[in-house]
């Protein structure tokens, strides 16, 4: 419903990095495999995030990537903006009208603004650290339901 495949992949990769924060560098190919993301495609997303200073990358043998700063200092919103580009100045009207602003508003303008603010606030408040914790909790719940011996088979993306 909301974001591109690219943004989705990027978020998954960032969560991976947050979960493995302690372990030093991670390889793009490892992450790609863990989340079933096309390897080279992810590589390009990583490049975007590197340019956006969300990731630090290191080439060569023993190279890899890691978060550019602690996971609790990176918000979901930053990740999405790094991938989708900065939000447009003249924000899009839901109905696609050329002229639609707070002054001359389309019928949905006010409600839509509310929704957009809510989305932005939500994404802004979620740090990668929060997501990492949430994922760990989720995996525990899942293990309780299906038995831990099956969890491995499900891989991380579940």
Partner DNA sequence: TGATAATGAGATATATTTATCCAAAATTAG
Partner DNA sequence: CTAATTTTGGATAAATATATCTCATTATCA
Q: Within the chain, where are the H helices?
A: 5-19, 28-35, 39-51, 76-84, 109-125, 128-146, 148-154
Instruction: Specify the stretch interacting with a second copy by CB under 8 A; choose among 39-47, 49-57, 66-74, 109-117.
Output: 109-117
Instruction: Specify the stretch interacting with a second copy by CB under 8 A; choose among 26-34, 51-59, 60-68, 112-120.
Output: 112-120
Q: Give the residue, chosen from 23, 24, 27, 101, that forms a contact with DNA under the rule CB under 7 A.
A: 27
Based on the shown chain and the rule CB under 7 A, indicate whether residue 81 belongs to the binding site for DNA: no
Cα–Cα distances (Å) from 12 to 1, 42, 114, 115, 156, in that order, read 17, 10, 27, 24, 10
Q: 17 and 66 in contact (C-beta within 8 Å)?
A: yes
Q: Give the residue, chosen from 23, 53, 111, 124, that forms a contact with a second copy under the rule CB under 8 A.
A: 111
Question: How many CB atoms neighbour CB 97 within 10 A?
Answer: 15
Based on the shown chain and the rule CB under 8 A, indicate whether residue 105 belongs to the binding site for a second copy: yes
For residues 41 and 146, which CB has a smaller minimum distance to DNA in the complex?
41
Instruction: Specify the stretch interacting with DNA by CB under 7 A; choose among 11-19, 38-46, 130-138, 141-149.
Output: 38-46
Site residues for a second copy, window 16-75 (CB under 8 A)? none
In the bound complex, what is the minimum distance in angstroms from residue 90's beta carbon to a second copy? 13
Count of residues of this chain found to bind a second copy when the rule CB under 8 A is applied:
44
Cα–Cα distances (Å) from 69 to 22, 134, 158, in that order, read 12, 19, 26
């Amino acid at each position: 419903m909301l974001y591109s495949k690219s943004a989705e992949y990027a978020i998954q990769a960032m969560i991976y990095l947050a979960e493995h924060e302690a372990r030093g560098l991670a390889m793009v190919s490892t992450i790609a495999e863990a989340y079933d993301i096309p390897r080279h495609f992810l590589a390009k997303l990583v490049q975007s995030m590197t340019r956006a200073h969300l990731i630090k990358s290191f080439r060569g043998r023993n190279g890899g990537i890691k978060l550019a700063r602690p996971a609790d200092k990176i918000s979901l919103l930053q990740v999405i903006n790094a991938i989708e580009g900065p939000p447009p100045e003249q924000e899009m009207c839901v109905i696609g009208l050329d002229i639609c602003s707070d002054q001359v508003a389309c019928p949905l303008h006010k409600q839509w603004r509310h929704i957009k603010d809510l989305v932005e606030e939500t994404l802004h408040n979620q740090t990668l650290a929060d997501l990492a914790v949430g994922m760990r909790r989720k995996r525990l719940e899942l293990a309780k339901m299906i038995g831990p011996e099956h969890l491995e088979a499900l891989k991380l993306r579940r």
